[in-house]
Amino acid sequence: MAQILGPDGRPISNEILATPQTSHLSHLQREMQTHPTRGLTPSKLASILDQAEQGQLQAQFDLYEDMEEKDGHIAAELGKRRRALLVNWSVTPPDNASAKEAKAAAQLSELLAEIPDFEDVLFDITDAIGKGFACCEIEWHKPGKYWVPKTITHRPQSWFGVHRGYRQELRLRTNTTAEDGSIGEPLQQFGWITHVHKAKSGYIERTAMFRQLVWPYLFKNYSVGDLAEFLEIYGIPVRIGKYSTGASEKEKMTLLRALAGIGRNAAGIIPSGMELDFLDAATGDPAAFELMMNWCERTQSKVILGGTLTSGADGKSSTNALGNVHNEVRKDLRDSDIRQVCSTVTRDLLFPMAVLNGLAPDGIRRAPVFCLDVGDTEDLTAFSEALPKLVKIGMQIPVQWAQERLGIPQPDKGEAVLQTIEAGATLPPGLAEQAAALSGQVPPPAKPHPPRLMAQQLAAQMRAPAAAWVEQIREIVANANSLEDIRDGLEALRPDMSLDDYAAAMALALAAAQLAGRYEVMQEAANG
């Protein structure tokens, strides 16, 4: 009986494929997040980072979740980077593919397209861009002839731990310890899409991009809180109450409530013998708080997108040239993200589908590859001018290369394609003269056609009055210094523009058309 073997050579049963690994780890599903950003201080943040380096990752990943949820700037910038990968995709056969390998790639492409909400799966995988890694659990089923994913579910990073050995290994957190002293349950083969995304080199717990954002996030939170306190008292006068010596606690509380009521309601009562004094209103400048918040947000943009001019303009250094440079940096980050994501999808989703369905007989080395197409193409105008010159001097340029650079697909067999009009081709009636005028050639004499002759005659008669109008308007535009000058000049010109010549030409044309129509009717009657 044939068996399905995983990458390590161990057999994989149908029961394992159809049963999610986390279905028996109920303690993970009942866990609640700790929200470490509540009351976050520099010492508490440093403690969370230290614990992560010692293997206690849960608080750090809960911190990452809170940061993305509470900081709108981080969420917006990270959303730009993640959604840049939601582009067209394809399944590419290996180089020098045989007919069998090309057919297998086409079949896998169809199976991949049938996965429900596959674009959402790609978006979940990009969660690793900020948090270092992302794990999506696959539940397989076989509704017909092929094994395909039934569901692909994103699991929180806090469910996982890192087993350190010769290589780091992500494992599900459990409450037990193995015989070799390792903690956690190894991930099942063909059961997970495990994407590790590096913002920097190092151990998994330190490579996440969010780890570079935690300190700007903390400083920004302090500045936002300070600004809120400043705005709460800004413009409100300081109120001081005076009570007589020997006043009771009840009288003191009455005076305090009166002070608070006056601050909000501008009205209050106090017992006789007590006094209220109003000092100058609280003043200050919130610019210092805004400066700190802007610095934090610029730092966040640099970490996430590689620059600041693609996310906001300050009116000082935001030039078009610098903006283009920053946009190129963002494209470099996007291309790096695409390379990492495509490698993971090929290894953890496409290859398992190929193995389970017998579409990768030669292993992963000759398996199809998942690709994301960003759609960056060359300037069509520049290429159309440069390629003929390069070909003319003898440069051999492959047609496929040129079509890929321009984003023009290869036509299918029998598919209609655009073509140039050959020199001897016959043009429809009425277009020969226009084509000859554009090319500078004189067409051969054609048989007179009454409507065409009348149109030519009318155009010739209208040329003189129209030329006079155009010349007057051209003079107004040439002497004007603004749009208002042109408007005023046209207003002044309008009473002097005579329509007599135009009316006479139209009357003559209408009369000629009527006579031509009568002539044609008489000819038809005579020939009938």
- Residue 122 has which token pair? 């790609």
- Considering the domain boundaries, does residue 296 fall inside one? no
- Residue 17 has which token pair? 């494929």
Segment holding 355, helix H or strand E: helix 351-356
Select from 227, 212, 200, 216 the least CA-distant residue to 73. 216
> Confidence class of residue 402 from pLDDT cuts 50, 70 and 90?
confident
- Partner residues linked to 162 by β-bridges: 170
Q: 359 and 490 share a domain?
A: no
- Residue 108 has which token pair? 């896998």
pLDDT at 261: 74
- Considering the domain boundaries, does residue 499 fall inside one? yes
pLDDT at 219: 92
Segment holding 150, helix H or strand E: strand 148-155
pLDDT at 180: 64
Q: Is the predicted pLDDT of residue 224 greater than 70, yes or no?
A: yes
Q: 329 and 455 share a domain?
A: no
User: Distance from CA of residue 120 to its chain's centroid?
Assistant: 14
- Considering the domain boundaries, does residue 184 fall inside one? yes
CA atoms within 13 A on the CB side of 276: 21
Q: Is the predicted pLDDT of residue 1 greater than 50, yes or no?
A: no
* Cβ neighbourhood burial of 263 (10 Å; 0-12, 13-18, 19+): middle
pLDDT tens per residue across span 476-523: 888 888 888 878 877 777 666 565 655 666 676 676 667 666 667 676
pLDDT tens per residue across span 96-105: 889 999 999 9
* 19/160 Cα distance (integer angstroms): 19
CB 378 within 8 A of CB 405: yes
> Confidence class of residue 319 from pLDDT cuts 50, 70 and 90?
low
Most confident of 264-268, 297-301, 380-384: 297-301
- Considering the domain boundaries, does residue 137 fall inside one? yes
Least confident of 80-89, 433-442, 498-507: 433-442
Q: 511 and 363 share a domain?
A: no
Q: Is the predicted pLDDT of residue 138 greater than 60, yes or no?
A: yes
Distance between the two ends of the chain, CA-based, in angstroms? Answer: 89
Least confident of 31-40, 133-142, 265-274, 493-502: 493-502
> Confidence class of residue 211 from pLDDT cuts 50, 70 and 90?
very high
- Residue 272 has which token pair? 């006789």
Residue with more model confidence, 121 or 306: 121
Q: Is the predicted pLDDT of residue 389 greater than 70, yes or no?
A: yes
Q: What percent of the chain clears pLDDT 70, i.e. is strictly above it?
A: 72
Q: 257 and 363 share a domain?
A: no
- Residue 344 has which token pair? 């993971």
Q: Could you tell me the residue range of the domain that residue 263 belongs to?
A: 235-283
Q: 83 and 168 share a domain?
A: yes
- Residue 300 has which token pair? 């966040």
Q: What is the DSSP letter of 349?
A: I
Task: State the amino acid at position 525 in one-letter form.
Answer: A
Residue with tokens 């073997």: 5
289: Cβ contacts below 8 Å, ≥ 6 apart: 223, 224, 226, 227, 230
> Confidence class of residue 446 from pLDDT cuts 50, 70 and 90?
low
Segment holding 184, helix H or strand E: strand 183-186
Q: 164 and 199 share a domain?
A: yes
pLDDT tens per residue across span 250-265: 888 888 887 777 766 6
Q: 245 and 365 share a domain?
A: no
Average pLDDT, the chain: 80
Domain boundary residue, one of 333, 355, 373 = 373
Q: 208 and 254 share a domain?
A: no
pLDDT at 64: 94
User: Distance from CA of residue 435 to its chain's centroid?
Assistant: 45
- Considering the domain boundaries, does residue 177 fall inside one? yes
- Residue 507 has which token pair? 């009357």
CB 219 within 8 A of CB 184: no
Least confident of 176-180, 318-322, 323-327, 390-394: 318-322
Residue with tokens 């080199």: 201
Residue with tokens 């057999």: 11
Select from 27, 251, 44, 331 the least CA-distant residue to 158. 27
Torsions phi, psi for 430 (to 5 deg): 95, -20
Q: Is 278 helix (H, G, I), strand (E, B) or coil?
A: strand
* Cβ neighbourhood burial of 176 (10 Å; 0-12, 13-18, 19+): exposed
Q: Is the predicted pLDDT of residue 188 greater than 80, yes or no?
A: yes
Q: What is the DSSP letter of 142?
A: -
CB 45 within 8 A of CB 74: no
Domain boundary residue, one of 226, 251, 283 = 283
- Considering the domain boundaries, does residue 457 fall inside one? yes
* DSSP secondary structure string for all residues of 79-113: HHHHHTT-SEEEEEPPTT--HHHHHHHHHHHHHHH
Residue with more model confidence, 87 or 316: 87
**What is the Rg, in whole angstroms, of the alpha carbon atoms belonging to the chain?**
38
Q: 159 and 239 share a domain?
A: no
Task: State the amino acid at position 385 in one-letter form.
Answer: E
Q: 181 and 249 share a domain?
A: no
Residue with tokens 């003929």: 388
Domain boundary residue, one of 227, 250, 283 = 283
Least confident of 4-8, 286-290, 424-428: 424-428
Q: 208 and 255 share a domain?
A: no
The number of domains in the chain is 3
Q: 146 and 30 share a domain?
A: yes
- Considering the domain boundaries, does residue 312 fall inside one? no
Residue with more model confidence, 390 or 445: 390
Q: What is the DSSP letter of 23?
A: G
